[in-house]
Amino acid sequence: MNDRVAKLVLGLFVLSMPVAVCGQAEAVSEAVQEGVVWEPEQPWEVIDVAIAIDTSNSMAGLIETARLNLWEIVNDLDQAEPQPTLRVALITFGTCNADGDTGWVQVETGFTEDLDLVSERLFASACDSGIEYVGRVLQVALQELQWTPSEDALKVIFVAGNEPADQDPEVDVYEMGDLAWQEGVSVQPIFYGDADHEDAQSWIELAEIARSEFAAIPAKRGAQALETPFDEELAALSAAMNETYVPLGTEGRKHLENRASQDRNALEASQATAAGRAVTKITRAKASWDLVAAVEENEAALYEIDESELPEPIREMSLEERELYVEEKRLERARLQEQIAELGAQRQAFIGERAGEALISSEGLDAVVRRTIREKAEEKGFRFPEP
């Protein structure tokens, strides 16, 4: 077995690890982290973003906004030069899926580049009630997530809630904010309500101690996504992209099914969300479970792959037929990617004409996150086109 095949087999082994379901935290990224130290070769190109969101019922509007705009936030980051290695973690607090022993805090997924996984957990996040301990969620984020071990990496925690930030009886939220700053992690408090509400004061103080910027998002502001004339076609092209994947093994098929499931979640949220996801899929399309990508990247050769890992339609093919089949899928994907890129550029121009000041004037969650990450990323040397 050569090195390329060994890497592919290792990837399939990792993908075969069990996944928690039905209210349990997703275990894939944490399982991958166990016993493995994340040490990227170019840490200055890494952006670690932890999203800590209160999932009590009163936060439904903000959660829906996050679902609507996840892909637009990623697409904005993808405009940076150099293109960052983006890792996202999702933590929920005030959640009925956890208990008092954990401070009602749950790590839905540790840092991962698998944004389908983040989307899956975000769409599954909902609860009727819970106790919000901001101090506890910051403690969990700092102690349990595997941050990039380099001062060169950008590390941010967005923590959002609508009750006092300092009500945790065991963990001092201000000490956690100061500790994060000492460890090079920027804490960005987001209060879901009016900035002059009495409960906002503790969030303002947290921002001051964490040396960051406080943001308030009025609860009356509904979830929004800007629709464009290009959205319907982009959503259709995104769905067609799924037909170009050739999943390896049982876990590969599960990942492909989840990719299609997140397409449906995006489309049900809005056509604009599905269009944004389509653009993300061509900039961050590489999948470790996909035979087409493995062959294209010279990570595997068709003649070396165990037939049991192949999808049924190509198991009976000759080697020459398999090579032709994979090449046809690669060419079709390239064609779709080119169409998505062209339409995506037109869509972005359309949005720019109607919301040229969006990053500056908007008070929505997506604008707060995008503006904050841009500012922090520019401090680290990333460059962005003018909005």
Distance CA 84, CA 62 (A): 26
How would residue 290 be classed by pLDDT, with cut points 50, 70 and 90?
very high
Residue 81's region, left for phi above 0, alpha for psi from -120 to 50, else beta, is beta
Structure tokens at 157: 């925690």
Question: CB–CB of 122/112 below 8 Å?
Answer: no
Per-residue pLDDT at 297: 83
Read off φ and ψ for residue 34, nearest 5 degrees.
Answer: -60, 120
How would residue 285 be classed by pLDDT, with cut points 50, 70 and 90?
low
How would residue 230 be classed by pLDDT, with cut points 50, 70 and 90?
very high
- 60-72 residues labelled b (16+ CB within 10 A) or e (exposed): ebbbbbbbbbbbb
Domains of the chain: 43-223+356-379 (3.40.50.410), 231-354 (no CATH)
Name which of 10-24, 98-112, 200-214 the model is least confident about.
10-24
Q: 191-224 pLDDT, tens per residue?
A: 999 999 999 999 999 999 999 999 999 876 555 6
Q: 294-321 pLDDT, tens per residue?
A: 888 887 788 888 888 999 889 989 999 9
Per-residue pLDDT at 224: 65
Q: What is the DSSP string of 140-168?
A: HHHHHS---SSTTSEEEEEEEESS-TT--
DSSP 91: E
The pTM of the full predicted model, rounded to 2 decimals, is 0.79
Read off φ and ψ for residue 50, nearest 5 degrees.
Answer: -100, 125
Determine the residue type at 311.
P
Helices (H), the chain: 3-15, 28-33, 60-77, 115-124, 134-144, 173-182, 201-209, 231-241, 249-269, 271-283, 291-296, 312-315, 319-354, 358-361, 365-379
Q: 31-44 pLDDT, tens per residue?
A: 334 446 788 889 88
Percentage of residues in the chain having pLDDT higher than 70: 85
Cβ atoms within 10 A of the Cβ of 358, count? 18
